[in-house]
Amino acid sequence: MNAAAQSIIAYCRAGYEVDTGNELTAIATARELYGYPAFKPGDGFVRFQFYEPDHAAQFISQVAVHDTIFPRQLFLVLETIQIEDKSDRIGPILDALADAATGRSGLLFVDYPDTDEGKTLAKLCRKFAVPLRQALRARDLLSKKEHTGLPALHVFFTSGEQCYLGVSQAKQRSPFENGICRLKFPPKAPSRSTLKLEEALLTMLSAAQRDAICRPGARAVDLGACPGGWTYQLVSRDMHVEAVDNGKMADDLMATGLVDYRAEDGFKYRPQMGHVELLVCDMIEKPDRVAVLMANWLTRNWATHAIFNLKLPMKRRYETVTAAIETVRAQLNAANIKASMVIRHLYHNRDEVTVAVIREK
C-alpha cells in the first residue's frame, strides 16, 4: 500500500477543486471521518486523504456521488501507479490488484481529468482500455460481460506517467465515463440551456419519478423561460407550460399550442390554475432570493415538485449553496412536507448548481 491509499478521488469541473474539497471535508466530518483535501487548482480532481486506515473505505461505502454536489465521480484509491516502463502499463496495475485482492469487478473505467491537459490523455485511455480489459478478464479480475451491479475498477490517468487505481460500489458511483453525462444537443431546441434540464431530468430523478412528474398533459411553470430551452424539454414530454419571462420565446415552441407565454415578473407570478405539477426556474438571481421563492411555491402548494438553478458566487460557493438549501429545507420542514432534495453541479452547468425537490407521496 503506498501513500495514496487511505484516500479517495473525486472528479470535478476544473476550477471547483476548493469547493469539492470543502464539501468532502464537511461530509467526512459529519460522519466522524477525518482527513484533508489535496489538489492543485485547475486539475479537475481532488484527492481526499484520510488519517485513519479504514476511513476512506467507510466514506466510499457511505457516500454516493448522487448525494453530493460537486463531485462527478468518487472512488477509493488502492494505489498510485508511477509508470516507469511505458511499454508495460498493464503489469503494475495487475501487480497492485493482486496485492489488494479486490476480487472480480463488473466494470472498468479508464478515465482522465476534464481539463485541456486531461483531454490529451483521451486517446491513450481509449486505446489502453482494450488490452487492460483483456488482461483483467484473463485473470478473472473482471467479469466476462459488463455487470453494472458489481464493484467497478477505476484507472484514472493524470498524466502519461501516473495513474490512480481504485474501486467503487455500484450504488455509490456515477455510471458515466469521466463522471460526465454527455448529451446530444436537440437540433430544434432554442438554446443550449436545454441540456441542463435534460441532464437534470435524466440523472437527478429516478425513471419512476420522471414518468410520474413529466407525464403527458401535466402542467408546469417555467420561470425565466426565454428563449425556451427548458420549456422545450417539458413540451417534448407533452406537458403544458406556463412560460414566464419578459424576453422572446422561440416561435416553434409557441406553435406547439402547449405553451402559455406570460410576460411577467417571475417573483410575482402565480400559477393560472392555482397549482402545477412541476415548477422549473432558471432566472439569474441571488441564490437566497431564488431559494425563498422556491420554498414559497412548494409550501403554498402552487407546485408539487421543483427543479431550479442556483447561481454560484465566485467565492464560498459550497457555503452559499448549503445556506440556500437550508432555507428551502427549513420551510418544507415547518410545513411538514416530506421531500427528497438532490443538488448537483451538472456537467452542462457552468457557475450554477441544479436542485431537484421531489415531494414524497
By the rule CB under 6 A, 198 interacts with ligand SAM:
no
CA distance 105 to 25: 29
CB of 347 to ligand SAM, least distance (A): 16
Encoded one letter per residue, x for contact with ligand SAM by CB under 6 A and - for no contact, window 203-242 reads ---------------------xxxxxxx------------
Measuring CA to CA, how many Å separate 66 from each of 47, 236, 339, 346, 356?
Answer: 18, 26, 16, 11, 12
- Which window, 74-82, 129-137, 278-286, 296-304, contacts ligand SAM (CB under 6 A)? 278-286
Q: Which residue in 311, 315, 338, 361 is the catalytic one?
A: 311
Are the CB atoms for 165 and 154 separated by under 8 Å? yes
- CA-wise closest residue to 16 among 326, 338, 323, 313: 313
By the rule CB under 6 A, 282 interacts with ligand SAM:
yes
The number of beta carbons lying within 10 Å of the beta carbon of residue 50 is: 20
Q: Are strands 73-82 and 7-11 parallel, antiparallel or unpaired?
A: antiparallel
Active-site annotation holds for 268: no
Spacing of C-alpha 230 from chain mean position: 18
By the rule CB under 6 A, 77 interacts with ligand SAM:
no
CA distance 192 to 319: 28
Query: Which of residues 222 and 277 has its CB atom nearest to ligand SAM in the complex?
Result: 222
Instruction: Show binding-site residues.
Output: 193, 226-229, 245, 265, 282
CB of 227 to ligand SAM, least distance (A): 5
- The arrangement of strands across the sheet holding 7-11 comes to 35-38, 45-50, 7-11, 73-82, 162-168, 152-159, 107-111
CA distance 206 to 203: 7
By the rule CB under 6 A, 244 interacts with ligand SAM:
yes
By the rule CB under 6 A, 266 interacts with ligand SAM:
yes
Residue of 246, 272, 301, 333 that binds ligand SAM (CB under 6 A):
246
Query: Which of residues 149 and 313 has its CB atom nearest to ligand SAM in the complex?
Result: 313
CB of 114 to ligand SAM, least distance (A): 22
Residue nearest ligand SAM (C-beta atom): 229
Residue of 23, 79, 245, 277 that binds ligand SAM (CB under 6 A):
245
C-alpha cell recorded at residue 104: 472480480
Measuring CA to CA, how many Å separate 213 from each of 126, 207, 306, 357?
Answer: 38, 10, 10, 12
C-alpha cell recorded at residue 344: 448537483
- Which window, 18-26, 253-261, 281-289, 329-337, contacts ligand SAM (CB under 6 A)? 281-289
CB of 307 to ligand SAM, least distance (A): 11
List residues with catalytic annotation.
311
Residues of the shown chain interacting with ligand SAM in the complex, contacts defined by CB under 6 A: 191, 193-194, 224-230, 244-247, 265-267, 282-284
